[in-house]
Each structure stands twice: as C-alpha cells, then as structure tokens.
Amino acid sequence: MTEQQKASLRILLESALTKTSDDKQTLAALFYQRLFIVAPGVRPLFSNKLSLQEAKFTQMLESLLTSLDRLDHLVPVLWESGRSHKHYGAEDAHYPVVGEALLWALEQKLGSECLTDEVQLAWQELYSLISLIMQEAAKTA
Ligand code: HEM
C-alpha cells in the first residue's frame, strides 16, 4: 500500500468516525443495518447486544486508523480475530458481503463524492488484506 493510499484512508476513516449527521446514525449502526438487509442469514450469528457490537466495530476501525503506518503490528490481532470468527460461524463467502456493507456505510456517511476511485481502491486493498489474514487464520481454528 502506497503512502498516498494510506493518506487517503486516514482521511476517509477519520471523517467517517467523527462526522455527525442530522440523523445521528453512526458508521457502525449504518453498517449493521445494511449487513442484516443484504445478508439476513448472518443475523443469528450475532449474540452480543448490537450496541456492544457497534462499539467493538468502532474500536476496530479506530485501531486500523492508528495502525495504518505499521499494519504488521495488527497481524497477530487479526489472526486471533480470524480464528474467533470461525467459532462465531463466519464463512469465507461472508467476507465480501461484509466488505460491501462497510463500503456502503462509508458512502452513506460521507457521500459518494468522498469515495473516489482512488479511495475505493485503497480501501479495497486494505479490506482484502485484512480478510485474507482472517480467512487464513480461520483455517487453523
Ligand atoms: C475484515 C472483516 C472483519 C472484521 C475486521 C471484523 C471485526 C470484528 C470485531 C472487532 C469483532 C469483536 C470481537 C472480536 O474481535 O472477535 C467481531 C465480532 C463478530 N463478527 Fe466480525 N469482523 C469481520 C468479518 C466478519 C464476517 C465476514 C462475519 C460473518 C458474518 C463476522 C461476524 C462476526 C460475529 C458473529 C461476531 C461476534 C458477535 C457476537 O458475539 O455477538 N465478522 N468482528
């Protein structure tokens, strides 16, 4: 991932996490609403209260933001998370669906003009990397 891509992602995530809109919907809330519409089958996998899950999701994006310059530090965390996800019931086929819902939520929150081709490509690269690590780890769980 290039420095330019990291810079774009930093702006994207910072804005998405801090921007408040009139309807007060957080990025996390938008993400789960979308996920459960496009993939209702995954809803029963989530046993936590949704507000708690949304808080964990936000924390995860915040650590991504602070670790963009040293993504290698995240590998052990993502590996463990991938193994846990196997136990939650996450399957390989769910990862692209989650990625789409996340992109959709970012677009709702920030407006499509913020998601230029360049930013989308950088985001997809980051998401693919994370998914790959988690999916590889899941095979060992
Ligand atoms: C890159 C992709 C993903 C990331 C970064 C991510 C992140 C997280 C985080 C941070 C948590 C909180 C607990 C933990 O770390 O284990 C979590 C929990 C969870 N995730 Fe994911 N996740 C991803 C993909 C998925 C996918 C594809 C599914 C499949 C439906 C999924 C389903 C779940 C479930 C069921 C829980 C537990 C919720 C509960 O116990 O109520 N996640 N995820």
Q: Is the CB of 38 under 6 A from ligand 1?
A: no
Return the CATH number at 34. 1.10.490.10
Cβ-based neighbours of 140, under 8 Å, separated by 6 or more? 83
10-69 pLDDT tens trace? 988 888 888 665 556 889 999 999 999 999 999 999 998 999 999 999 999 999 999 998
Q: Is the CB of 31 under 6 A from ligand 1?
A: no
pLDDT at 94 over 90: yes
Domain extent for 9 = 3-139
Q: Is the CB of 141 under 6 A from ligand 1?
A: no
Cβ-based neighbours of 88, under 8 Å, separated by 6 or more? 45
Helical residues (DSSP H) of the chain, grouped into ranges: 3-18, 27-38, 50-66, 75-88, 94-110, 117-139
| pLDDT interval class at 121 (50, 70, 90) | very high
Residue 71 DSSP code: G
Identify the pLDDT of residue 114: 87
pLDDT at 95 over 80: yes
| pLDDT interval class at 107 (50, 70, 90) | very high
| Dihedral of alpha carbons 96, 2, 82, 116, sign | negative
Angle, helix 117-139 to helix 3-18, in steps of 10 degrees: 90
Using the mean position of ligand 1's atoms as its centre, give its distance from the Cα of residue 127 in Å. 13
Supply the pTM of this predicted model. 0.92
Q: How many domains does the chain have?
A: 1
